[in-house]
Structure 1
Amino acid sequence: MDTHIQSIESGLPAPDIQILEINGLTMKVASMGSGPLVVLCHGFPELAISWRSQIVALAAAGYRAVAPDMRGYGGTTAPSEVSDYTMLHIVGDMVELVSALGEKQAAIVGHDWGALVAWSCALLRPDLFTSVAGMSVPFVPVASVDILSALRDAGVDHFYLQYFQAPGVAEAELEQDVAASIRRMHYSASGDGPDTVTFGMLKTGKGILDNTVEPETLPAWLSERDVEEYASEFQRTGFSGGLNWYRNIRRSSELMAPWRGQAIHQPSLFIAGEADDVLKFPNAQADIDNFPNALLDMRGCHILPDAGHWIQRERATAVNELLIEFLDGLKNSG
């Protein structure tokens, strides 16, 4: 099934939409352009449309830009078993997507959880994913202790990653008013949100939304149309698919044990917002400082001022320029 719809409110042409059979899933994929393949992986709680600006810019720059709704999100199948959301499952999705598109290699780009997917794709399949760009979440070599165990060992018991573990708890909170959840999380984690709001540590006995505020007006990068698109999809699917990624942190860490300590050798790029709460997490700066040891062909580390977590939307033009400069540099050096 192919559709092509003009996005009037955004002023951007909408990508073509395909429904593909990928790795046992039915996957909704947005694409535009021709040339070297660039796969764009979104995070939580987002969809392929979070890459709308990048898809158009990459296509105009001579690339084939492809953004799937990831496993468990939007128009892509959400398996019922929690254990079907490990990092190996998701990397497998991206491997098969490249094959289904008739390509043998791709650049892989990701934001938030999608950044972890992108880093993992580069780590596990360097033959296929020949360059990698991560946004918001730094690359950290696979360690012997997963983050949930590290939090427990540090005596922490109310970090948001822990709150997301019990099936049904976060779903009940987020699905009570889906549009409000989307507005509050996106605004509060952005550079436009109040400085007093952080996503990491939750208030005792409170949920994730207690760490957010309702915006009086939406910021320029988040339109009413965007909120409606996100809300309509999450209203239909619920949030369990995305939350199940968090519920596989320990399982994925165990499965990734063969790659412990392994660096990424391909050309790499990192982009984040200076006001991103992820950069305030313990060890985040140390992880960035370790890039020379972990990303062996790093082509840039860009921390954009006054921007928050949703970097590819908050600073779409800057991110597009940095991404295209990175990819063009690979063509010129290759």
Structure 2
Amino acid sequence: MSDAIKHSHVEVNGVRLHIAEQGEGPLVLLLHGFPESWYSWRHQFAPLAAAGYRVVAPDQRGYARSEQPERVDAYTLLHLVGDVTALIGALGAEQAMVVGHDWGAPVAWTTAALRPDLVRGVAGLSVPPLPAGPPPLQAARENFGEGFYQIYFQEPGRADAELVADPKSSFRRILGGKSPDGKPRVWVVPAGEGLLDSLPEPERLPAWLTEADIDAFAADYAEHGEHAFTGGLNWYRNIDRNAELLTAFSGRPIEVPALFVVGEQDLVNAMIAPEVLTYLLGSLTPRLHRHVRLPETGHWTQQERPEEVTAALLDFLRHVEELDEKSER
């Protein structure tokens, strides 16, 4: 096993992606969310590689050290799933275990639903599988108002400029901030305020996040200058387009083994009622191995609770290996 994380670039679907990798063996893809990069999986590389896996975490299209297509509509879920499927082939593998956090979770779930031939097992952190339905942004407006962050992100250039004005401060506020009472809250920007006004910079970072981590994220994003956050924001600007493109697959179950991990203080818990979450997992992941709820854990699951998340992933990987062995007998 290699004891160092290696960095390189791979071209998939005409987009140059930066990848970080470690280890040898069956392929495990780790897909980050917003506003993150491969670095969000820093704690998972060594233990997964030591367990006999080839661990690869790309900066997904538009993020960090990867290329940013200019067109907003180049960031649909179908494009992102296409990147994952092409990456599996480019890495010389026939299949992969696919793990996603935040936005990476919908990419992982959708890849597993549409291409079960390529996905041995799928794990989603924070965001459960969601069926396509009515225009999601309309429902968001009705439930949370115009200040809901996903609505706020829709205007080209606005959130982009606010976030890039001071990237280190943006990362401290988004990753390191939390509600005063510790309860999950929906991110809503009050009328007349800017995006980050609703997220005061923390006096000190939480124990799981260091200034060196903030520096690492900021350095990853520096390559794209004033457009550092635009690629990731463009994912949000395709939310309604995704629903339209994936309507034909609405309700399609994920036929491969699955794992779901969420923090009890994750903002997703404030957006999806427990009974709805139970229904979604039951109807869309019939081969669900476990639903893991982590106490005193917010949205940044694998960074906040690296040991617990890694243990859940290793348990799931062993489960899939055992299933594969049984099917070969």
| TM range, smaller chain | over 0.9
Match of 2:220 among 211, 233, 238: 233
- CA distance in 1 between counterparts of 2:194 and 2:98 reads 33
Partner of 1:208: 195
Q: Is the 8 A contact 2:184 2:298 kept in 1?
A: no
Q: What TM-score do you get using the length of structure 1 for normalisation? A: 0.91
**How far is 1:155 from its partner?**
7.8
Q: Is the 8 A contact 1:188 1:212 kept in 2?
A: yes
**How far is 1:14 from its partner?**
4.3
For the residue of structure 2 that corresponds to 1:59, the secondary structure is helix
Distance 1:208 1:155, change over 3 A: closer
Partner of 1:38: 28
**How far is 1:154 from its partner?**
5.0
Q: Is the 8 A contact 1:181 1:209 kept in 2?
A: yes
Match of 2:280 among 290, 300, 303: 290
- CA distance in 1 between counterparts of 2:194 and 2:274 reads 24
Match of 2:157 among 153, 161, 168: 168
Q: Larger deviation: 196-205 or 229-238? A: 196-205
Distance 1:255 1:157, change over 3 A: same
Partner of 1:252: 242
Partner of 1:10: none
Aligned CA-pair RMSD:
1.8
Give the unaligned 5+ runs of structure 2: 325-329
Cα displacement string for residues 255-278 of structure 1 (whole angstroms, at most 9, x for unaligned residues):
111201111111000001100111
Q: Larger deviation: 165-174 or 203-212? A: 203-212
Q: Larger deviation: 41-50 or 288-297? A: 288-297
Q: Is the 8 A contact 1:189 1:276 kept in 2?
A: no
The answer on 1:159 being equivalent to 2:145 is no
Q: Is the 8 A contact 2:126 2:262 kept in 1?
A: yes
**How far is 1:229 from its partner?**
1.2
Q: Is the 8 A contact 2:184 2:269 kept in 1?
A: no
The answer on 1:119 being equivalent to 2:106 is no
Q: Is the 8 A contact 1:175 1:235 kept in 2?
A: no
For the residue of structure 2 that corresponds to 1:21, the secondary structure is strand
- CA distance in 2 between counterparts of 1:264 and 1:189 reads 33
Q: Larger deviation: 222-231 or 308-317? A: 222-231
Partner of 1:309: 299
Report matched runs for 1:164-203 at 5 Å. 164-189=153-178, 195=182, 198-203=185-190
- CA distance in 2 between counterparts of 1:303 and 1:196 reads 15
Give the unaligned 5+ runs of structure 1: 5-12
Partner of 2:327: none
